[in-house]
Amino acid sequence: MNPETVKKPRAKRPAKPVNGKETRSKDRPGVRHVTVTRDHDGQRIDNFLARELKGVPKTAIYRIIRTGQVRISGKRCKPNHKVAVGDDVRIPPAHTREQGDFQVSDAVIRQVRNAIIHEDKDFIVIDKPSGMAVHSGSNLPWGLIDAVRQARPGEFVELAHRIDRETSGCVVLARSGEALRHVSDQFRDGKVIKRYLCLLDGHLKEAKVVVDEPVLKLRQTGSHTVETDDEGKEALTHFHLLQAYADCSYAEAEIFTGRTHQIRVHAAHLGLPLAGDDRYSSEASQRKWKKRGLRRLFLHAHSIRFESPGGDEISCNALLPDALRKVLDQVAA
């Protein structure tokens, strides 16, 4: 056969954009430009990219944002930047995991489905178990949001906020762009009421203790550590004593800002680290709580209250998990 007559294989067309209209790019091969539509108006750029770059770890998404490879209407951005209708988002090529690597098991899908404590046309509230991340990341092929999306193919579902992987309890997901914008504004303005149950290693000296200390995130390979620092971001936590025990305090923590590890860092700042905290408590404290049967962080997001787009109040409560209840019974004995 004459080599000139051999047909070259047709190049694969890029996947269709999830979040908006895609246009051809004059950049290097593989770069795409996506125009933001109304459904994603006000969405954080890291979450916007997570849907466009399916299978790409969050750490990789943060890296391409941080290095300036992602541009919004020609300008660099930060991960918490919120896109607007009509924005042109430059999306570089990014390495994904192998197809199928982040498929969530049927057992986890059932677990997440059974953990739904509220659902309406605007929101889903899930009682997230400890140990399950809210999204994929370094060495984490999937998170809560992936499980929900896999169970509801084709539906709009986005995280309205985040809680630590080690923390259990209420997580809000939005079912439309309008609902996401509405609740995101409430989180930004401090109008969402968030309360956590926690066990402090030591005695809370008063019935109510207020910690108003800025926190600063320190970047480390594969993880973050946070500390109180005047150069950090404003953070406010109220600790309310529920029950005093021989060497610990069962308390409710209400947060008025949503900083990474805020309750954990503020508890440690008081000299009362959370029971089971493997990052902000001493090794001696960790050994003590393991001997008492605690195998996780004692922090549970038990209550959240916010407003729907229609003006109705949504109030959700998640019961203290049995594993934590058993620890309380043990220290009370």
Is residue 221 classed exposed, middle or buried when 0-12, 13-18 and 19+ CB atoms within 10 A define those classes? exposed
Q: How many residues in total does the chain contain?
A: 333
Q: Can you say how many angstroms the Cα of residue 157 is from the centroid of all Cα atoms in its chain?
A: 14
9: pLDDT strictly greater than 50? no
Q: Per-domain residue ranges for the chain? A: 20-91, 106-183, 190-332
Same fold, 106-183 and 190-332: yes
315: pLDDT strictly greater than 70? yes
Q: Which of 160, 165, 211, 197 is nearest to 181 (CA)?
A: 160
Q: How far apart are CA 328 and CA 249, in angstroms?
A: 10
> Of the CATH numbers 3.60.110.10, 3.30.540.10, 3.30.2350.10, 3.40.50.150, which one belongs to the domain with range 190-332?
3.30.2350.10
Mean per-residue pLDDT, 102-114: 90
Q: Which of 115, 119, 97, 118 is nearest to 107 (CA)?
A: 115
CATH number for the domain whose boundaries are 20-91: 3.10.290.10
* Residues 148, 174 contacting (CB under 8 angstroms): no
76: pLDDT strictly greater than 90? yes
Q: What is the pTM of this model?
A: 0.76
> Of the CATH numbers 3.30.1490.190, 3.30.2350.10, 3.30.1490.20, 3.40.50.10420, which one belongs to the domain with range 106-183?
3.30.2350.10
Q: Would you please indicate which residues are annotated as catalytic (active-site) residues? A: 164
Q: How far apart are CA 226 and CA 264, in angstroms?
A: 9
Residue-wise pLDDT tens digits, 269-286: 999 999 999 999 999 999
Mean per-residue pLDDT, 94-98: 59
